[in-house]
């Protein structure tokens, strides 16, 4: 009964604070994406394109599309990231409180959830955000996944988020807006789970009290922000490294059937088999270095800004 009562109270808290949480988490998501947007384009193209290396990829983009080519698809990315990151962090707090209430009988443990609770809460929040914002993610992937044509001739298959969505619906049908959603939803569980689970584990291993053994209240807010940034960066790197092969398959499924794409796959496992047969295991990790370099500061900014905005609004 007590657990049910606490769960009900947490649900009410979630409902009353959802808009504030959505706004502030969406804002920190925008900041992190703007900061790393140039590497996003290169990472997506490296994962979904040919066999050239990272340096050659940057040179090819600059030569064929100019400096703005590094930010191709960033408008769609920013449009997607505000609600997506807002939903992730907002629903993560909700799921974390709910799962903690259901798995513990001690009220003193609610503020310190276990790493396993953090993992499942992160996974569920990732699935929730991905399901709601997926068409925007597909538009971002298609815009940034298309390179300039051969011989330096520039070919723009998609020009904007609305252009991408409308062309996709007109040429491939409404259901095509959800191409690749299966690996996206399945990948959201380990990705967000590992990210939040790693942060939760580090929170337990290195509690704030270690910074001020005599009095935990002596800890400066700025110290906690830098602490969260460090934990978030490590969580992002771990999650990005482990789940990158699934992200490669997701991008390839998103691009199939689109303008300029010559590949066709009959589902997730057919894509895995064909990619492995044609190019080997290394193809699944193409572009992983750019992604890891991007994910560290990206998630560090997310967690640090989220912590800052929480302290400013509480």
pLDDT bracket for residue 177 (50, 70, 90): confident
Q: What is the mean pLDDT of residues 241-252?
A: 87
Q: Tell me, what's the pLDDT at 82?
A: 81
Give the model's pLDDT for residue 152. 45
Res 220: pLDDT: 59
Per-residue pLDDT at 108 exceeds 80: no
CA dist 272 and 262 (Å) reads 16
User: In terms of Cα–Cα distance, which of 101, 90, 124 is closest to 306?
Assistant: 90
Q: Which pLDDT belongs to residue 198?
A: 92
- Measured distance CA(20)–CA(150) in Å, rounded: 48
Residue 221: pLDDT band with limits 50, 70, 90: low
pLDDT over threshold 60, residue 38: no
- Sign of the alpha-carbon torsion through 258, 262, 264, 269: negative
CA distance 113 to 138: 34
Q: How far is CA 160 from CA 33, 142, 175, 260, in A?
A: 18, 10, 20, 16
What span, in angstroms and rounded, lies between the C-alpha atoms of 295 and 292? 5
Whether 214 shows a pLDDT value over 50: the answer reads: yes
The whole-angstrom separation of Cα 178 and Cα 99 is 29
Distances in Å between the Cα of 230 and the Cα atoms of 142, 198, 202, 238, 304 are 32, 11, 10, 13, 8
Q: Phi/psi zone of residue 280: left (φ > 0), alpha (ψ -120 to 50 degrees), beta?
A: left
Quote the crossing angle between the two packed helices 74-103 and 2-35, to the nearest 10°.
Answer: 160
Per-residue DSSP letter, 282: G
Average pLDDT of the chain?
A: 74
Place of tokens 């290169």: 42
């Amino acid at each position: 009964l007590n657990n049910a009562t606490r769960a009900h109270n947490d649900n009410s808290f979630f409902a009353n604070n959802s808009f504030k949480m959505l706004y502030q988490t969406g804002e920190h998501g925008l900041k992190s994406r703007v900061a790393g947007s140039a590497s996003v384009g290169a990472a997506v193209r490296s994962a979904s394109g040919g066999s050239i290396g990272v340096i050659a990829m940057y040179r090819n983009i600059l030569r064929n599309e100019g400096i703005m080519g590094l930010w191709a698809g960033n408008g769609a990315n920013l449009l997607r990231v505000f609600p997506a990151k807002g939903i992730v962090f907002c629903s993560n707090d909700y799921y974390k409180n709910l799962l903690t209430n259901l798995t513990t009988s001690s009220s003193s443990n609610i503020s310190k959830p276990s790493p396993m609770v953090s993992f499942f809460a992160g996974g569920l929040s990732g699935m929730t955000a991905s399901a709601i914002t997926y068409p925007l993610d597909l538009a971002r992937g298609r815009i940034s996944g298309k390179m300039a044509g051969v011989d330096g001739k520039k070919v723009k298959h998609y020009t904007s988020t609305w252009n991408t969505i409308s062309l996709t619906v007109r040429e491939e049908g409404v259901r095509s807006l959800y191409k690749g959603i299966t690996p996206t939803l399945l990948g959201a569980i380990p990705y967000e789970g590992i990210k939040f689970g790693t942060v939760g584990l580090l929170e337990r291993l290195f509690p704030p009290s270690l910074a001020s053994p005599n009095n935990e209240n002596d800890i400066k807010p700025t110290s906690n922000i830098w602490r969260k940034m460090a934990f978030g960066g490590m969580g992002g790197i771990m999650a990005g490294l482990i789940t990158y092969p699934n992200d490669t398959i997701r991008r390839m499924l998103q691009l199939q059937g689109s303008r300029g794409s010559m590949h066709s796959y009959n589902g997730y496992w057919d894509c895995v088999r064909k990619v492995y047969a044609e190019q080997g295991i290394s193809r699944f990790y193409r572009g992983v270095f750019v992604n890891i370099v991007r994910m560290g500061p990206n998630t560090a900014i997310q967690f640090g800004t989220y912590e800052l905005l929480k302290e400013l609004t509480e």
